[in-house]
């Protein structure tokens, strides 16, 4: 595949065609929140999963446990309730929306509480 400026576009290694992923801005925003939660001592590990239907970022307190928070991008829901979903530790939906910033807001509020303590 070639770009307009003549440069070649190379798929991310291991990423299958048709797989959902995060673009650079989305991943930067997610990793920014993750980094601040690590600095506050709230999170210590993360995992990402990419399938043909969804891309998932999961944050853990300890890697052997279930994720404390999970952000999911599901483009098929873009026209309905929004393609972004924030899940809690027990799989409950904490927030849904069309914009990533709004979906990450509950995590950022929790971060402010952790810094104030």
Residue 98 has pLDDT above 70, yes or no: yes
Q: For residue 11, is it within any domain?
A: no
Residue 3 lies in a domain: no
The structural domain count of the chain equals: 1
6 domain-assigned: no
Cα dihedral 74, 108, 69, 12, rounded to 10, equals 50
Q: Give dist(CA 86, CA 71) in Å, integer.
A: 5
State pLDDT tens for residues 31-66: 999 999 999 888 999 999 999 999 999 999 986 678
Report long-range pairs for 58-67 (Cβ below 8 Å, ≥24 apart).
59/34, 66/90
pLDDT band for position 1 (50/70/90)?
Answer: very low
- 95, 70 Cβ separation under 8 angstroms: no
Residue 95 maps to a domain: yes
With respect to residue 30, please indicate whether it lies within any of the assigned structural domains. yes
In a domain, 15, yes or no: no
Q: Is residue 43 part of a domain?
A: yes
Full residue range of the structural domain in which residue 58 is found: 24-116
pLDDT for res 7? 57
What integer pLDDT is reported at residue 115 of this predicted model?
56
Is 33 inside any structural domain? yes
What is the percentage of the chain residues whose pLDDT exceeds 70? 79
């Amino acid at each position: 595949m070639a770009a307009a400026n003549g440069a070649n576009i190379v798929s991310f290694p291991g990423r299958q065609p048709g797989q959902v992923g995060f673009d650079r801005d989305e991943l930067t925003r997610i990793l920014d929140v993750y980094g601040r939660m690590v600095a506050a001592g709230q999170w210590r590990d993360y995992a990402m999963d990419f399938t043909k239907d969804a891309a998932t970022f999961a944050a853990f307190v300890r890697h052997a446990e279930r994720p404390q928070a999970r952000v999911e991008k599901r483009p098929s829901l873009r026209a309905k309730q929004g393609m972004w979903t924030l899940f809690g530790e027990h799989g409950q939906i904490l927030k849904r929306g069309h914009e990533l910033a709004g979906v990450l807001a509950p995590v950022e509020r929790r971060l402010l509480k952790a810094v104030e303590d």
